[in-house]
Chain A
């Protein structure tokens, strides 16, 4: 595969991943990661490793909100690394809303994510979430 083709495929994986998160397609979200891949969400003290741990995170996250809206504002892919800026708006069942802006860092392993880390202001997230 040429470098340009690889970059195109990796950008597409990032865009597909966020679309799947938005659709709540947890099996397909998890399948974007390598079997031993890791995911480090902003409020976690350390990365979650492996499909089971990553699945557990999204199974907890997705039902939290009545409505969610994610918009990817910028994607950069360079070699085996990628960055994606994201704006996340959501509404809880009780009507409370949250608005987060973050940047996801991707390390690719072949055609999948090896590691994903979300850079965000955890202090602001805790304030909005009331935790």
Chain B
């Protein structure tokens, strides 16, 4: 019986390992190709490990496109949206959990319900609105529509509900304003929730493809993801080691964040799931 159990466990491990290997193999292949000398890329059978490490692929790839600009744009886009979403979500989350006003629950349900509308339905009208404002291909066009989020509002509301009201009441008696209470009491207590939102929004905006593709069109306004795809039309299919080096430096910030903040990713996803 024990032996049978061990066999089952061994089989489970084999299956899981195969699956895990398949999940990360493409990233490993990306990395290995990115450090290969050119003449070892097009070989059959494929050569897994390079005979020597060619880091100059990264320098060449960096020089071939305006990456500084792409990175700057991505940082501005991600940074602004993160700041905006944290502020608006804190305010709304606080109101929906700790303030009393008419229609609170109904408004909250209606607001969360708006998440159900597929993004494809509103993309054309939003584009028309932005083009009327002359905001196409500008930072404000890229950033402003994303400054609020139902996800963050939901996240903070859930978090604040669990914080006792006593502190808030005592501060109110002392004559503190709600904004002050939110800043001095609730924000310091909700660091995990804030980090979750920051991590999520960073991932969402940094990896975002569809939105920047629609809203921007000049090279000066492109973000890293669109820049990478433009790089493909120049070098894809020919200079695979440059292509993979470029893919590496677009992925690297996400990998770093994932290594340090993995638990927040998982928590955030689980939360979205429970909500539905």
* Bound pair (A, B): no
Which B residues fall within an 8 A CB radius of A? none
Which A residues fall within an 8 A CB radius of B? none
